[in-house]
Chains A and B, each alone.
Chain A
Amino acid sequence: MTQIQQINRLAGGARVDSDGVINFTYNGRPMQGVSGDTLASALLANGVDVVGRSFKYGRARGIVGHGAEEPNAIMQIGSGASSVPNLKATQVELYEGLESAPVNGWPSVDFDLMSIAGFFSRLMPPGFYYKTFMYPAKLWMTYEHFIRRAAGLGRSPVGDDPDSYDKLNQHADVLVIGAGPAGLMAAREAARAGARVMIVDEQSEFGGSLLASTQTIENRSASAWVDLMVAELKTFANLQMLPRSTAFGYYDHNFIGILERRSDHLSLSAATGSRQRLHRVRAKRVVLATGAFERPLVFAHNDIPGVMQASSVSTYVNRYGVAPGSRMVLFTCNDSAYQTALDWHGAGRTVVAIVDSRAEPNGAMLAAVEALGMEVMLGCAVIEAQGGKRVKRALVAPINAQGTEVVGSVQRIACDLIACSGGWSPAIHLSSHTGAKPQWDEAIVGFKPGTSTQQECSAGACAGTYRLSECFAEGAQAGAQAAHKSGFGSGVGLFPQPPVEEHDEYPQQALFLVPHTQRSTRAPSQFVDMQLDVTAGSIEIAVREGFESIEHIKRYTALGFGTDQGKLGNINGMAILAKALGQSMAETGTTIFRPAYTPTTFGAIAGRDIGELFDPQRHTAMHRWHLARGAEFEDVGQWKRPWYYPRSRASGGVESLREAVDRECLAVRNSVGILDASTLGKIDIQGPDTAEFITRMYTNSYLKLAPGKCRYGVMLKEDGMIFDDGVCACLGDNHYLMYTTTGGAAGVLAWLELWQQTEWPDMQVYFTSVTDHWSTATISGPNARRVLAKVCDDIDLDRQAFGFMDWRDGTVAGVAARVFRISFTGELSYEINVPAHYGRHLWEALIAAGEAFDITPYGTESMHVLRAEKGFIIVGQDTDGSMTPADMNMDWVVAKNKTFSFIGKRSLQRSDALRDQRKQFVGLKPLNPNDVLPEGAQVVFDPQQPIPMSMQGHVTSSYYSANLGHAFALAVIKGGINRMGQVVHCPLADGRILAAEIVSSVFYDPEGARQHVE
């Protein structure tokens, strides 16, 4: 394909560097732009008219805007994993090697088969899909399949994102959003007052609309004035300046999200560091100086490429040195757009006509164009554009003074560009995010920011102030005030007001929908929301159908649903609705503005917290040993816990889970095993009221627990349901150590603090988390004492002297240790605690000491099997937040006669807790000894009953026990405790039905003899 020349590029004068040639591709075609271009300006320079196809009707669409408001020029940028869908060409800075392609149009944007749908567009009124595709019912999924084919704009990449993103938590006294004249003045005043100031702007450079202005400020061009101003701002050390940074959301308590694009404007090879950075800004005061959007004029076929916003035409000419056409018709209802005629003329192009809807405007602007000999058609409107892929002519007709009817004959004026201006709409988006309700202002014919609940103010065009001198003044005042209110300066501006050349404007006309010779439902489509193909007619149809709220109109027609969120046409749509209902704009109101102001990258919102940093991984002090031993790990909360330690099989390969667990369990029962139990939560509790306090928290009593002793306890929530369990040790007078479950540690501490601090502040008790301080190695098995004896000679290990549920201080492997004789396996066990810096040392010393006994490290899986053989519960596995101690057959742990009604006690007396058919904790012995019932299997009495079956409970824990030589399970079953010996069934998804007998939950050593081996 041949390279298109930059046929629309003007020579010099603009802010682009015409020598800095940049190569890029569009739809695979190589093109050139210049440094300073956006993709949009470069495409226009290259004479590209059609940049996409509309999604419903497949109509050809061209560039209409120059910034965040652009609805049509939606591009896929880049390729492969670093491709980005849906960028607006008007916001993409050109860089060497940029690849771009339109997102819609098949087989191509220039020839789109979907556009045939245009002929059928009358069959697609708003909401047509609700009215059809219903019969026959089963075909809907097929219809939907085809509807979905048409869905979407660009494509999501399919590969992993090669870029990284980060975040900064920023704190500012004054945050200024928008660096146009108002924002620049505000930042300068606030910085001068000494406040910590940030100023951000979404564009590549500061200056806002001044970058495209031909006004003179302080005897300089606006553009030169901006450069000077920016240089001055750079001298403030307390001012942070962020270009390419979009404030996308204004949240509560002056929290603002800002997305900085750090390398999107660089070619792939030049980009380093994070691609985008999210600034999470907490500001004392915010100055909004976000400017205004020019409103479109809605007339028939106003979507043909070559219909553009007047200010955008000026911007392309003045800022980018591009004239997107040659013969322009300017269509306006206000004075500001006359500047575009002057700019176009200045670019050496032809202004065919100025069509002004106002019957008799006058003033400086009119005089200026007339002086240049331009034809001005007053009281007229462009009622229709004609052309296919580019405007060929404008149909112009006189209209009445209210702007509601065509009152004369239609003229056809040949042109290739129609520049339009329907007035201005303040960019009140951010202000509205705070919940401030927009206020309609007849004087500016627009919505102004409402009264805000946040510490902010709006200045400049976003507040409806359009004169440059007033923007300056308002900005300066806002900056000085914001600084003052956050504690800096007097609140009065210090800098003199820059003198500007400006003139008075004649009042605009409110013209939201341009009349046609036919009414809107019949006229050629008059587009309000181009991205979603919403027309004036479709809004009127929706009203006729009974949708009267603006919110219903939005949802029925999809007005403002697009990636531009209706920045261009929303106000027109509201006005069309207001007119159809015969009510005022104020009564009609707006839809709700929500973040994001412009679309914001998921990856940037996620930041660095992905991959291994998604959530902290917690390790114990022995972790490296486990790794070296090839342990498999289980995620328990944030912890990585050894799950099992597979060994190489003699026969080759590595042990399976079952093989490893069988071996580990047998080792514990027959000799000795070692478990890393460091993850258990531990809370040190001190103070005169400690025993009373924990007696209130647990179901049993600790008032008589002597130093040196431990006790197992269960904690309930006030609803009577089991919430945590563990052992509590009395360390001394008024001093206890509480163990919690691994997952429960933080919750239990907060729970204790809650009661102490808010309910019983007079109870003298302090809590300190010592979970991380201690490393715990548990040695368990008949040889446990022998192993311990090898590394400990200052504790009397005699089984009488150091009894079950006792603890002792001593020295283990040369380290001061605290040893508990408690057991979760049913075997003789010692839990040895040392400060965690010695954790690995202790572990290795025990492994060495146990060598003679073939000491076997075991993981959580074996630990679960061993405790299940003993019928010990695991809170969260065997209980689910709906189980009481009685349900778990643990009435023995509930002290009935404590003076204080412990937490949860009263709930145990509620009628439902006393119901006899509650689920109760029992054992299950599969009739076939090799059937390991799946955990989560449901239990029924009669497996032949029809569905829905009457479910009696479920399997909570289930294993094969190498010790018992058969599979076994724990379950909760309705009335289970009184059903011992009955056979129940587990119907499984694969069709199997496994039978099991209800037995005691204690499968092993019910007398507890193993605890006390010599």
Chain B
Amino acid sequence: MKKYSGFSLFSNALSYHENWQKIWRSPKPKREYDVIVVGGGGHGLATAYYLAKVHGITNVAVVEKGYLGGGNTARNTTIIRSNYLWDEAAQLYELALKLWEGLSQELNYNVMFSQRGVLNLGHNLQDMRDIERRVNANRLNGIDGEVVTPARIKEIAPLINISPDCRYPIIGASWQPRGGTARHDAVAWGYARGADALGVDMIQQTEVTGIRRENGTVVGVETTEGFIGARKVACVTAGNSGVVAAMAGLRLPVESRPLQALVSEPVKPCLDTVVMSNAVHGYVSQSDKGDLVIGAGVDGYNGYGQRGSFHVIEHTLQAICELFPAFSRVRMNRQWGGVVDTCPDACPIISKTSVGGLYFNCGWGTGGFKATPGSGYVFADTVANDRPHPLAAPFDVDRFNTGALIDEHGAAGVAH
């Protein structure tokens, strides 16, 4: 892999950029792989990368039905934070955050991880109790966080409305300075480039249509381009997990729901952090291009349409205009939806299955982008060693039978 740097940029400019190396090869699939990763989103690509990098398993293919990083990786609001309530979740997301902190250098690809901080607003007494609880837990888990006052919130986000007279006044917030955003596409491309350089095959525009098993163990996948053999199959297909599980005769405790987001037209920098509010439901940050990136709520019903209901957008913009009255005259440039796989406890599933050699990493719902590096890391370990990585163990699918849920719904605030 040729290294990217200011120097390489300069020397390539001399040859009119005609000689850049391909970011990844587009190989024909081999007949068999040690591991097939189904799903070329951020998590799948990270899994492939760490399989090769950490575990030396390089005979790996990532099979993606569309284009790499075109699922939820392409459509999320890129919020990164690790201030989750429960120990199990906090440790997993904190592993991810630590990896984010060196990811551009690790991948030699600038994923533009911007630690501009994340505010989670509180609007009533119970919100504040929950915020206190979460921040205290975070600090004792070694995760940065503070509870901040409206005055401090106003310093961090000057356009925000902290008037005590609004319908749901802001009475405080949690603040995680190490949180922030990253350039979502670059994450997928960086991991794909890194994995490709280690020998992983990127098989795009190829849909997995079946999971072939013999004697309760996987032997490969059927795809729109034919059968590909595999000793292990690792499914990382987010919103489509239920569909892929069904190919192996399994059911999952997930429901696929539309989740929407929108961007405004670009405006000059006016919001230098990430603001999230659970109670009035809206979250917003400003991209490096200037557009306000706004996340909406998850739709009330199952759907695979990558689009959602307009009233959800209306409600979100009401919340945004409440929080930032000045944005009322800014305009929505584009809105879209993704399909998220939601678990009853708003926590992921990273798990072996009852089928030998078949693994699932799914259920990240509305908030898995931030986990991308950590998720790939522990999942690769789980697949490589055929036993859960210690941080992944609590996320085994069996928790839905034993009842050991990790309920991030109730107390942990917004899940994005």
Any A–B CB pair closer than 8 Å? yes
Binding site for B on A (CB under 8 A): 81-86, 122-123, 125, 128-135, 137, 140-141, 144, 147-149, 151-161, 163, 249, 251-252, 255, 257, 280, 435, 521-522, 537, 541, 544-549, 551-552, 555-556, 558, 561, 563, 565, 592, 594-596, 599-603, 605-607, 609-612, 614-615, 617, 634-636, 719-720, 876-877, 880-882, 907, 910-913, 934-938, 940, 947-949, 951, 954, 956, 986-989
**Contact at B330–A935, with CB atoms within 8 Å?**
no
The interface residues of chain B lying within 8 Å CB-to-CB of A986 are: 136
Contact B332 A600 (CB under 8 A): yes
Partner of B268, one of A155, A551, A558, A877: A155
Cα separation A84 to B74 with both chains bound (whole Å): 29
Do A947 and B141 contact each other (CB < 8 Å), given the known contacts A521-B17, A548-B26, A602-B317? yes
Determine whether the beta carbon of A880 is less than 8 Å from that of B410.
Answer: yes
Interface contact B137-A599, CB-CB below 8 Å: no
Contact A156 B329 (CB under 8 A): yes
Given contacts A130-B186, A602-B329, A936-B130, contact A596 B124 (CB under 8 A): no
A938→B140 contact, CB < 8 A: yes
Cα distance, A877 to B249, chains bound together (Å): 41
B385 interface residue (CB < 8 Å to A): no
In-complex Cβ contact of A989 among B25, B139, B401 (8 A): B139
B17 touching A132, Cβ below 8 Å: no
**How long is the Cα–Cα vector from A709 to B184 in the complex, in angstroms?**
61
What residues on A are CB-neighbors of B108 within 8 Å? 134
User: For residue A86, which residues in chain B have a CB less than 8 angstroms away from its CB?
Assistant: 265-267, 331
- The reply to whether B402 and A635 contact each other, CB–CB distance below 8 Å, is no
Can you list 26 A-B pairs with a CB-CB distance of less than 8 A?
A: A84-B329, A128-B9, A130-B4, A130-B110, A132-B9, A134-B109, A137-B104, A140-B112, A152-B290, A157-B329, A158-B159, A544-B18, A544-B22, A552-B68, A558-B289, A563-B265, A596-B334, A602-B329, A610-B321, A614-B166, A615-B167, A720-B403, A881-B410, A947-B141, A954-B136, A989-B136
Distance in angstroms between the alpha carbons of A125 and B14 in the assembled complex = 12
With beta carbons under 8 angstroms apart, the residue of A81, A84, A634 that contacts B124 is A634
Question: Which residues in B have their C-beta under 8 angstroms from that of A549?
Answer: 66-67, 70, 204-205
B251 CB–A CB distance under 8 Å: no
B115 A141 Cβ-Cβ under 8 A: yes
Dominant secondary structure of chain B at its interface with chain A: mixed
Instruction: State which residues 253-280 of B face A: CB under 8 Å.
Output: 264-270, 280
Q: How far is the CB of B376 from chain A (nearest CB, A)?
A: 19
Most chain B C-beta atoms within 10 Å of own C-beta, residue among A123, A549, A635, A940: A635
Shortest beta-carbon distance, B150 to chain A, in Å? 15
B191 to chain A, nearest CB (A): 12
User: B131 at the A/B interface (Cβ < 8 Å)?
Assistant: yes
B77 shortest CB reach to chain A, Å:
15
Contacts A161-B329, A521-B16, A549-B204: A989 and B8 contacting too (C-beta < 8 A)?
Answer: no
Number of interface residues of B (CB under 8 A): 115
- Residues in B neighbouring A940, C-beta threshold 8 A: 140
Q: Which of B20, B288, B309, B318 contacts A144 (CB 8 A)?
A: B288
**Closest 8 A/B residue pairs (Cβ):** A936-B132, A152-B290, A936-B133, A599-B331, A603-B328, A161-B328, A881-B410, A546-B22
Residues of A within 8 A of B354 (CB): none
Least CB distance from A177 to B in Å reads 16
Which of A123, A600, A876 meets B10, CB within 8 Å?
A: A123
Q: Which residue of chain B is the closest to A255 with respect to CB atoms?
A: B310
- A600-B332, A882-B410 given; A131·B9 CB < 8 A: yes
What CA separation (Å) do A123 and B141 show in the bound complex? 44
Residues of B within 8 A of A544 (CB): 17-18, 20, 22
Question: Which residues of the other chain, A, contact B55 by a CB distance below 8 angstroms?
Answer: none
Which B residues touch A537, using CB under 8 A? 16-17
Interface centre among B159, B305, B313 (most CB of A within 10 A): B313
- Smallest distance from the beta carbon of B282 to chain A beta carbons, Å? 10
CB-CB under 8 A from A149, the residues of chain B are 269
Q: CB of B407 within 8 A of chain A? A: yes
**B411 at interface, CB cutoff 8 A:** yes
CB distance from A962 to the nearest CB of B (A): 20
In whole angstroms, how far apart are the Cα atoms of A636 and B8 in the complex? 59
Rounded to whole angstroms, the CA-CA distance of A566 and B366 in the bound complex is 29
B225 within 8 A of A: no
Q: Which residues of B contact A954 (CB under 8 A)?
A: 133, 136-137
> Is B110 a contact partner of A131 (Cβ separation < 8 A)?
yes
- Beyond A599-B331, A948-B91, list 17 extra A-B contacts (CB 8 Å): A130-B4, A134-B109, A137-B104, A152-B266, A155-B270, A160-B326, A594-B335, A596-B334, A602-B320, A602-B321, A602-B328, A602-B332, A635-B123, A719-B344, A935-B129, A935-B132, A936-B134
Q: How far is the CB of B220 from chain A (nearest CB, A)?
A: 25
Indicate if the CB atoms of B22 and A129 lie closer than 8 Å.
Answer: no
Whether A605 pairs with B314 at a CB distance below 8 angstroms is: yes
A151 near B269: Cβ-Cβ < 8 Å: yes
A-contacting residues, B204-247, CB 8 Å: 204-205
Q: B321–A606 contact, CB under 8 A?
A: yes
A134 contacts across to B, CB distance below 8 A:
4-5, 104-105, 108-110
A152–B147 CB distance below 8 A: no
Given A152-B268, A719-B403, verify A599-B333 contact (CB < 8 Å).
Answer: yes
Chain B residues near A602 (CB-CB < 8 A): 264, 317, 320-321, 327-332
CB distance from A56 to the nearest CB of B (A): 10
Residues on A with beta carbons closer than 8 Å to the beta carbon of B125 = 634
| Separation of A610 and B323 alpha carbons in the complex (Å) | 10
Q: Which of B101, B325, B328 contacts A601 (CB 8 A)?
A: B328
Docked CA distance A612–B167 (Å): 6
Write out the residue numbers on chain B whose beta carbons fall within 8 Å of the beta carbon of A956: 129
In the complex, chain B residues whose CB is within 8 Å of the CB of A160:
325-326, 328
Query: Contacts of A609 on B, CB cut-off 8 Å?
Result: 314, 318
Give chain B residues whose Cβ lies under 8 Å from the Cβ of A158. 159, 270, 326
Question: Does B23 make an interface contact (CB < 8 A)?
Answer: yes
Q: Judging by beta carbons under 8 Å apart, are B136 and A151 in contact? A: no
**Neighbouring A residues of B267 by C-beta, 8 Å:** 85-86, 152-156
- Report the separation of the CA atoms of residues A176 and B146 in the bound assembly, to the nearest whole angstrom: 54
Cβ-defined partner of A565 (8 Å) among B5, B334, B344: B334
Q: Does residue B404 face the partner (Cβ distance < 8 Å to A)?
A: yes
Q: Is the CB of A83 within 8 A of B140?
A: no
Which residue in chain A gives the minimum CB-CB distance to B269? A148
CB pair A133 B146 closer than 8 Å: no
- A83/B329 in contact, CB under 8 A: yes
Q: Which chain A residue lies CB-closest to B305?
A: A435
B204 contact set on A, CB distance < 8 A: 548-549
Q: A541 and B18: CB pair below 8 A?
A: yes
Contacts of A280 in B (CB 8 A): 310
- Residues from chain B with a CB closer than 8 A to the CB of A610 are 318, 321-322, 325, 328
Could you say which of B25, B91, B309 has the most chain A C-beta atoms within 10 Å of its C-beta?
B309
Q: In the bound complex, do residue A910 and residue B402 qualify as a contact, i.e. CB atoms below 8 Å apart?
A: yes
Report whether A125 and B17 are in contact in the complex, using a CB–CB cutoff of 8 Å: yes
Q: Are A546 and B24 in contact (CB under 8 A)?
A: yes
Report Cα–Cα, A432/B271, bound state, in Å: 33
Tell me the B139-197 residues at the A interface (CB within 8 Å). 139-142, 146-147, 159, 166-168, 183, 185-186, 189-190
Chain A contacts for B186, CB-based, 8 A? 130
User: Cα distance A262–B183 when bound, in Å?
Assistant: 38
In the assembled complex, the CB of A178 is this many whole angstroms from the nearest CB of chain B, namely 21
For B8, what are the chain A residues with a Cβ–Cβ distance below 8 Å? 131
- CB of B132 within 8 A of CB of A911, answer no
Which residue from chain B places its CB closest to the CB of A563 in the assembled complex?
B265
B105 & A606 in contact (Cβ 8 Å cutoff): no
**A606 contacts which chain B residues (CB < 8 A)?**
314, 317-318, 320-321, 328
A148, A160, A522 interface centre (most CB from chain B within 10 Å): A148
Least CB distance from A174 to B in Å reads 21
Using CB atoms, name the residue of chain A closest to B272. A148
When the two chains form their complex, are residues B129 and A882 in contact, meaning their CB atoms are under 8 A apart?
Answer: no
CB neighbors of A among B28-64 (8 A)? none
Q: With both chains docked as a complex, state the minimum distance between the C-beta of B281 and any C-beta of chain A, in angstroms.
A: 11
CA–CA, A133 and B4, complex, Å: 10
